Amino acid sequence: MSHWLIAGASRGIGLELARQIAQRGERVTASVRSEAGRAALMDALAPAGGRGRILVFDTRDEAQIYGAAAQVEEPVDVLIANAGAYGPQRQSTLDTDFEGVLDLVNVNTLGPLRIVQAFLPLLRGGERPRIILMSSVLGSMALEGTFNVGYRVSKAGLNKIAQCLAEDLKPEGIAVVSMHPGWVRTDMGGPNATIGVEESAAGVIRIADGLTLAGTKRYLDYRGAEIDW
Ligand SMILES: NC(=O)c1ccc[n+]([C@@H]2O[C@H](COP(=O)([O-])OP(=O)(O)OC[C@H]3O[C@@H](n4cnc5c(N)ncnc54)[C@H](OP(=O)(O)O)[C@@H]3O)[C@@H](O)[C@H]2O)c1
């Protein structure tokens, strides 16, 4: 039975990840940053009974993240840095809300790195430790298209962090992958997205289950298909 750490589990894909893992009877520690988020997550963790734990932090706040990590005693086997945002209205190359995009990079690119660093001591004690960084296919350098440049930049940066972390953590036996969860019907993905949270989360969990050091440093979608960095 693994211990999963899911950052950003108040709604959307993260909430469904917490729900499915709790339903499997595994241990889940998951984070929110509001009371509304806590209530939703408590429902999702109900099947886990006493094995579910809720942490509170904003991924932009290093002190909050370290404070949360200090509350966790048992080793973490799987860390999923899922929290993310879509950013400001104005984020094209020709019309940019610079403060808004800077904040987006703080959340989407640096946030996951803060989380990994804070929880690394717990991962080091984990069984077959794995890190999944929730990216997007929009972060791929190979993908054409120019809409939502700020979001693309933030996820492209996260992909680079995934590659570097994978390299740096390989000697310690910790696997790292960058994940595209699909185009998912959530607040972020919108109602026209092609898959529901159930299918996306089930795919992410399947990949986490099967991930070994041999599969580190990959950019995968929720079905396991490899994406061109
Ligand atoms: N949906 C898609 O089609 C899609 C496609 C590709 C990639 N993704 C990625 O998948 C991940 C989850 O997306 P989603 O669709 O589930 O999004 P969502 O429904 O908008 O949920 C976003 C989650 O991230 C949390 N979050 C946002 N900013 C945060 C911050 N600064 N600190 C802590 N938590 C924060 C939110 O918490 P609050 O409730 O407190 O705001 C919420 O739990 C994201 O990284 C996203 O970029 C999604």
| Nearest CA, atom 44, ligand 1 | 84
d(CA 169, CA 93): 35
Helices (H) and strands (E) in the chain, counts: 7, 7
Query: Would you say residue 20 has pLDDT above 70?
Result: yes
| Nearest CA, atom 45, ligand 1 | 84
Probe target for ligand 1 pocket from 188, 194, 195, 197, with the most ligand atoms within 8 Å of CB: 188
Q: Tell me how far the alpha carbon of residue 210 lies from the centroid of ligand 1, in angstroms.
A: 24
For 33-43, the pLDDT digits (tens) are 998 899 999 99
How do the domains of the chain map onto residue ranges? 3-221
127 φ, ψ (degrees, to nearest 5): -95, 125
For 54-84, the pLDDT digits (tens) are 999 999 999 999 999 999 999 999 999 999 9
d(CA 97, CA 45): 38
Q: 3-221: which CATH number, 3.50.50.60, 3.40.50.720, 3.90.1170.50, 2.30.33.40?
A: 3.40.50.720
pTM: 0.98
pLDDT at 40: 93
d(CA 10, CA 166): 27
Probe target for ligand 1 pocket from 137, 184, 222, 223, with the most ligand atoms within 8 Å of CB: 184
For 113-147, the pLDDT digits (tens) are 999 999 999 999 999 999 999 999 999 999 999 99
pLDDT at 193: 98
Q: Which two tokens stand for residue 83?
A: 């929290």
d(CA 179, CA 44): 23
